[in-house]
Structure 1
């Protein structure tokens, strides 16, 4: 498949490592009462919003924390996050009995900062976007010898996120298309790589906000780019740049990248709530928004897996 550094062994090992520590989330078949987002297709929603931290991020973070040595954990953990990865690291740190420091950008919902503090993490708000918070976290990690866990550019994180694809294709091997939201790229890098290892013919569609087209711009340029500005309310999908690991895996395994607007994500979040009783944040509704808007073309008769990647109410009402 690829010379890139992740194999089926890595994904299987991650699945074993996190088993019993995170939830094997259910897949809900979407049956619309009023408006069908994918007429003629079968639509399956993987409910990662039901994870104990409210998002898929707990998979990669837990796999990474459980892979650390006792000495690395004893030094204390540190990361920068739009909120969800920080919650995953705090969750893993709590299980392991080690301290955690989480840097957040100013755009992080206050509810996530409060939850981090309830779990015993030290929370620092720094900078307008994730990249600013990450720069500060890296500086502190170096100064104090803390163990830094990157939210997406770490093979252990990517392998943990890829366990979602293993579960989806084990439960529903007939899935022929996966639609996945993209922030830094850890989720789609893991899901796409694991899915293609299982079924090389499966179609993978990545979804970004129009106001944060990090990977869309990188694919057009043929190399990593740094966006000048971020213009989306979906903060967990809004790094100004990604990393070579993720760019390489996405280039190798993701068939198409599409963009959605904030209003389209909000409409999709409202559909999830009114039609399926699922409370998803804007980023959690991005994949469905791509289908509803027509950006991700879905053929009649296909079986489409959609990852509802995070919980929240910012898109409802």
Structure 2
């Protein structure tokens, strides 16, 4: 069990995070002499659990806790979802079990335990943990224990919770930045697809008929790109297709679902069809995410993990995919283009890692210049 009776069934477990203008990224992404670009950062790395996951998992657990005060929470996660589940359970005064893969960092497991969670290592990948989590929920039910199994990226309550992020982007652009038309593009990383589905739902609710559909850019690292491969196959077939990875080889382990959500692929296809193909996938080597991560720490004094930095990388290296490829897909207008990046989390990172990334790059000065990104399944040259 966790921290006693301090929680309440109606406790607010996530916050409205800042949307901040980034001068360094705006200048960098406009540096090729093309369109002027204004970049805004949606800082969900500042959530109490350290990532956007608390929106969806917190919503799910809070709803169940209102009707079942003695609920026991069960989560399968390589990190961020487990941290979200353990934080929500702790805030609500509930017990929590988190099943993690062997790749889970000791620091992340310690954070879960600090929230009062029981942490158990199961298997080599998240998929193994998820099977074990469902079995644990069934075993507890057989003993008369009311438990709440929370999927890291599936379930309507999870997606509904994540949808608040998309709605906040439109509200904050209008009320705080004076941008009435909404974003021209939104960039987010994708693992299983829960963030993407919530983002699309929130945008659909927030966007008015007079506002153009933004270009949605999803980013992944090679070796954790089940969603991007699935999208390429689905576009070719004209219907949702799931591509399963044999293993997760990227160090961006928070993206580490060997199979993504079919609903995420379907929602992406639907958005692509309704928005005149304003949907793209970008895949890159880990080293480009590393290069973006340490630059982001230098420029913004915030530390993010690789699974988050992969969404920032297209702006730090605009010649690789942003200009002219992605810019050409955006609504053409006279004003500066507005791009929002979802800074989704920073739990699996440290100042030591940032320094290591920087020093490793110094020993290979041509590395970043030589690396390439894939856009919609094809290598950009």
Q: Shift of the alpha carbon at 1:21?
A: 3.3
Match in the other structure for 2:284 = 260
Match in the other structure for 1:98 = 94
Task: Map residues 112-131 of structure 1 onto 2, 5 A cutoff.
Answer: 112-131=108-127
Normalising to structure 1: TM-score of the pair? 0.88
Match in the other structure for 1:21 = 13
Match in the other structure for 2:154 = 153
Q: Shift of the alpha carbon at 1:253?
A: 2.5
Normalising to structure 2: TM-score of the pair? 0.74
d(CA) in 2 for partners of 1:54, 1:249:
26
Secondary structure class of the residue paired with 2:249: coil
Q: How many residues align?
A: 301
Task: Map residues 1-317 of structure 1 onto 2, 5 A cutoff.
Answer: 20-32=12-24, 36-39=28-31, 40-68=36-64, 72=68, 74-145=70-141, 146-173=147-174, 174-199=182-207, 201-222=213-234, 223-253=241-271, 255-293=279-317, 294-296=320-322, 297-299=325-327, 301-312=336-347, 313-314=349-350, 316-317=354-355
Further displaced range: 221-230 or 161-170: 221-230
Match in the other structure for 1:10 = none
d(CA) in 2 for partners of 1:182, 1:81:
15
Secondary structure class of the residue paired with 2:163: helix
Secondary structure class of the residue paired with 2:28: coil
Q: Shift of the alpha carbon at 1:247?
A: 2.4
Q: Shift of the alpha carbon at 1:118?
A: 1.0
Asked whether the equivalents of residues 18 and 59 of structure 1 are also in contact (C-alpha less than 8 Å), the reply is: no
Asked whether the equivalents of residues 26 and 39 of structure 2 are also in contact (C-alpha less than 8 Å), the reply is: no
Q: Shift of the alpha carbon at 1:115?
A: 0.8
- Rg: which structure is higher? 2
Segments of 5+ residues of structure 2 without an aligned counterpart are 1-8, 142-146, 175-181, 235-240, 273-278, 328-334, 356-381
Secondary structure class of the residue paired with 2:152: coil
Asked whether the equivalents of residues 193 and 249 of structure 1 are also in contact (C-alpha less than 8 Å), the reply is: no
d(CA) in 2 for partners of 1:77, 1:71:
14
The 1:95/1:169 distance shift into structure 2, 3 A limit, reads same
Q: Shift of the alpha carbon at 1:298?
A: 4.8
Q: Shift of the alpha carbon at 1:193?
A: 2.4
Match in the other structure for 2:374 = none
d(CA) in 2 for partners of 1:82, 1:156:
21
Secondary structure class of the residue paired with 2:138: helix
Asked whether the equivalents of residues 25 and 39 of structure 2 are also in contact (C-alpha less than 8 Å), the reply is: no
Q: Which has the higher contact order (CA 8 A, sep 6+)?
A: 1
d(CA) in 1 for partners of 2:15, 2:128:
32
Q: Shift of the alpha carbon at 1:179?
A: 0.2
Match in the other structure for 1:13 = none
The 1:217/1:298 distance shift into structure 2, 3 A limit, reads closer
Further displaced range: 198-207 or 43-52: 198-207
The 1:73/1:107 distance shift into structure 2, 3 A limit, reads farther
